[in-house]
Structure 1
Amino acid sequence: MAGMSGSRQPERVGCCAAVRPGRACRSLSRHEGRAPVMTHSARLRPRSDPAAVTAHDDAIVGRVMPPQLDVLDARSRILDAAAHLFRREGFSGTSMDAIAALARMSKRTLYAGFPDKRAVLEAVLEQFIARRFAMIERIGREAASDEAILTRMVGALNAMATDEDALAMYRLLVAEATNLPALALAANRNGLTQAQAMLRQPLLNCGVRDPDRAACFLYDLAVLAPMHRLLVGTDNLHMDVAAIVGLVLEGVKGM
Structure 2
Amino acid sequence: MAAIDKASTSRQPGRLGRPPRGSEGEVTLRIMAAAKPVFLREGFEATSLDIIAASAGMSKKTIYARFASKEDLFEAVIVRYIEEHIPPVEQAATGDGPVAERLHRIALAVLEVALWPDTIAARRIIVAEAGRFPEFARLLHDFGVARVVPLIERCLEEGNASGAIAVEDVRLAADFFFSIAIRTFVDRAELGLERPGLSHVKRETLRQAVDFFMKACRPG
Shift of 1:88: 0.9
The equivalent residue for 2:64 is: 111
d(CA) in 1 for partners of 2:24, 2:180: 39
Deviates more, 1:205-214 or 1:120-129: 205-214
d(CA) in 1 for partners of 2:172, 2:217: 9
Shift of 1:90: 0.9
The equivalent residue for 1:87 is: 40
Whether 1:228 aligns to 2:187 is yes
Whether 1:101 aligns to 2:66 is no
Aligned match for 1:251, one of 207, 216, 219: 216
d(CA) in 2 for partners of 1:125, 1:116: 14
Change (3 A) 1:99 1:66: closer
Change (3 A) 1:206 1:82: same
**Per the alignment, in what secondary structure is the counterpart of residue 120 of structure 2?**
helix
Whether 1:213 aligns to 2:168 is no
Shift of 1:172: 1.2
Aligned match for 1:193, one of 146, 152, 173: 146
Determine which structure has the larger helix proportion and give its number. 2
Alignment of 1:36-51 (within 5 A): none
Q: Deviations over 1:45-97 (max 9, x none)?
A: xxxxxxxxxxx9xx9xxxxx963253432222222211110011111111112
Aligned match for 1:129, one of 77, 82, 89: 82
The equivalent residue for 2:164 is: none
**Per the alignment, in what secondary structure is the counterpart of residue 109 of structure 1?**
helix
Residue pair 1:100, 1:106 contacting (<8 A) in 2 also? yes
Q: What is the one-letter code of the residue matched to 1:241?
A: L
Alignment of 1:144-223 (within 5 A): 144-207=97-160, 208=167, 210-223=169-182
d(CA) in 2 for partners of 1:185, 1:217: 20
Shift of 1:143: 5.3
**Per the alignment, in what secondary structure is the counterpart of residue 233 of structure 1?**
coil
Q: Any gaps of 5 or more consecutive residues in structure 1?
A: 1-55, 60-64
**Per the alignment, in what secondary structure is the counterpart of residue 113 of structure 1?**
coil
Shift of 1:140: 4.2
d(CA) in 2 for partners of 1:209, 1:109: 54
TM-score (norm 2): 0.72
Q: What is the one-letter code of the residue matched to 1:247?
A: F
Whether 1:74 aligns to 2:33 is no
Deviates more, 1:237-246 or 1:194-203: 237-246
Deviates more, 1:215-224 or 1:109-118: 215-224
Change (3 A) 1:204 1:96: same
Whether 1:241 aligns to 2:199 is no
Shift of 1:177: 2.5
Higher relative contact order (CA 8 A, sep 6+): 2
Considering only CA atoms, is the larger Rg found in Structure 1 or Structure 2?
1
Residue pair 2:103, 2:210 contacting (<8 A) in 1 also? yes
d(CA) in 1 for partners of 2:159, 2:143: 25
Percent identity over the alignment is 29
**Per the alignment, in what secondary structure is the counterpart of residue 67 of structure 1?**
coil
Change (3 A) 1:203 1:71: farther
Give the root-mean-square deviation of aligned CA atoms: 2.9
